[in-house]
A = this chain, B = another copy of it.
Amino acid sequence: MDHQDSVSIRVFSLNCWGVRYLSKHCSRRYAMIGDLLLQEEHDVVLLQEVWSEKDYLFLRKKLAASHVHSHYFKSGVIGSGLAIFSKYRIQDTFLYRYSLNGYPYMAHHGDWFGGKAVGLAVLNIGALTANFYLTHLHAEYCRERDAYLPHRVVQAWELQQFVRHTSAGADVVVLGGDLNMHPQDLGNRLLTTYTELRDAYAETDTFDGCEDGLTLILDNPFISQKVIAPFEKGIRIDYILFKSSCKADIKCVSMRTTKGSVPGQAFPYSDHEALTAEFTLAPSEAAGDLRSSRRDCEGGEVARLVDILTEARTEVKVGVHCAERMRYTAGRTAAMGLALLLLELAIAAVPWLTLGAEQAFPLTSFYLLVALCLAILLCTSLLFIFYTMELKSLQGTEDQMRLAMGGLQEKLRGFPAAKPPEDPKPSDVFTAEE
């Protein structure tokens, strides 16, 4: 092999909270972020919530010398908000839009308009193919009664599918972003167990940053006390995850986060803390050992996957019932609107047919009611279409999960608890991806 024995790469991830005119000190914060990136010269920068293309272009101009290669992922009404800056040439990109992402009428939450997605950028680091994923999942607005949980579980499911299916050819996998999930949340377990991605914070040799790796903290002046209060000090929802391959070993040697304030500045870079992880890449030598050690625990691993999948299916089913109920309500309201409209027309027709213009007919209220009925009909029809699409996506995910469950149970039957695991056969290499 003609690549160096060991390469070091530094990865940066930040949710920039870049809603123009709404986020506080937006343009001044972008200037600060640009300065930081210019000074720190990370190898790969993964940014989320860069909602305005102008801000992306501002950063691109600023980083033209330090980060020659960049890509902005466009999607949805506003955009995906995802941007990558890199010192290495971006060989290829691909964007997967999540099938579910909140509701358009929840405009004050705004997630639907963001067109949330996961972006993939393929870089060549020396002789290695590195897949960098960046994403931003649907926000959690209320932990106790989280109406978006089924949507976020579907997003986590699609994210693990996307990473798993597109990373077979990659020697190194790194995923960064705001997952909007706590470390032990269902979607997070689904993602990490299925993809075998490892958490840089949990695996790093040295860490410098907020206690417990928190990324949304009370000390950050942009964070409202109300949001964080139930969690004492804060929450950890931003991550850098990574994975080795049989060709390259990736190891997190150090990690750090910002701690709310920025020295010498009046306010922080964002309402989220920024993550920086330093990795070393080395040619894989323990590929065989890794495989066999993995094989040893596969029985337990499969059982764990079954548990997580059962939980995820339950959540998705809750979503299905919810969407069915909403669709039914929309359909019934549309039918009532139509019935009312027909009734009005019938009432209007009676004096018109029998009495001509002799009897006064309350025209004002008639027109108002007709307009009201038409508005109801239109809105409920649109909602009916929307809920049908939501239902299809949820049912589709449930189908896929059921199929995956069948495969896992088949595997479990092949792993009797008492017997030692079978020797790896040469053909096992074909199924390693699963």
Helix, strand, loop or mixed for chain A's interface?
mixed
Contact between chains at B71 and A99 (CB < 8 Å)? no
Interface residues on A, range: 35 or more
Contact between chains at B168 and A168 (CB < 8 Å)? yes
| A95 adjacent to chain B (CB < 8 Å) | yes
Q: Which residues of B contact A375 (CB under 8 A)?
A: 374
Contact between chains at A91 and B407 (CB < 8 Å)? yes
| A73 adjacent to chain B (CB < 8 Å) | yes
**Residues of A152-167 contacting chain B, CB below 8 A:** 161-162, 165-166
Q: Which residues of B contact A404 (CB under 8 A)?
A: 92
Contact between chains at A71 and B403 (CB < 8 Å)? yes
**Residues of A405-430 contacting chain B, CB below 8 A:** 407, 410, 425-427, 430
| A115 adjacent to chain B (CB < 8 Å) | yes
**Residues of A250-275 contacting chain B, CB below 8 A:** none
Given the contacts A92-B434, A94-B161, A427-B1, A399 and B128 also touching, CB distance less than 8 Å:
no
Shortest distance in angstroms between A265's beta carbon and chain B's nearest beta carbon?
Answer: 33
Could you tell me the distance between the alpha carbons of A77 and B371 in the complex, rounded to whole angstroms? 27
Contact between chains at A94 and B165 (CB < 8 Å)? yes
Nearest residue in B to A431 (C-beta to C-beta)?
Answer: B124
8 Å CB contact of A127 from B92, B162, B395, B427: B427
Contact between chains at B75 and A392 (CB < 8 Å)? yes
Contact between chains at A127 and B430 (CB < 8 Å)? yes
Shortest distance in angstroms between A66's beta carbon and chain B's nearest beta carbon?
Answer: 19
Contact between chains at B3 and A427 (CB < 8 Å)? yes
Given the contacts A168-B168, A363-B363, A393 and B433 also touching, CB distance less than 8 Å:
no
8 Å CB contact of A2 from B127, B389, B425: B425
Q: Which residues of B contact A93 (CB under 8 A)?
A: 400, 403
Per-residue interface assignment for chain A, residues 117 to 137, with 1 indicating a CB less than 8 Å from any chain B CB and 0 otherwise: 000100010111100000000
Contact between chains at A171 and B2 (CB < 8 Å)? no
Could you tell me the distance between the alpha carbons of A76 and B430 in the complex, rounded to whole angstroms? 33
Contact between chains at A95 and B389 (CB < 8 Å)? no
| A72 adjacent to chain B (CB < 8 Å) | yes
| A169 adjacent to chain B (CB < 8 Å) | yes
Per-residue interface assignment for chain A, residues 74 to 94, with 1 indicating a CB less than 8 Å from any chain B CB and 0 otherwise: 111101000000000111111
A–B complex contacts, Cβ < 8 Å, 17 sampled: A1-B427, A72-B399, A74-B395, A75-B393, A91-B431, A92-B165, A92-B407, A92-B434, A95-B400, A97-B97, A115-B392, A124-B431, A168-B169, A169-B169, A363-B364, A367-B367, A367-B368
Closest 4 pairs between A and B when the two form their complex, measured CB to CB = A168-B169, A74-B396, A367-B367, A127-B427
**Given A77-B392, A363-B364, A374-B375: 11 more A-B contacts, CB < 8 Å:** A2-B426, A2-B427, A75-B99, A77-B389, A91-B434, A92-B407, A97-B97, A168-B170, A169-B169, A171-B430, A363-B363
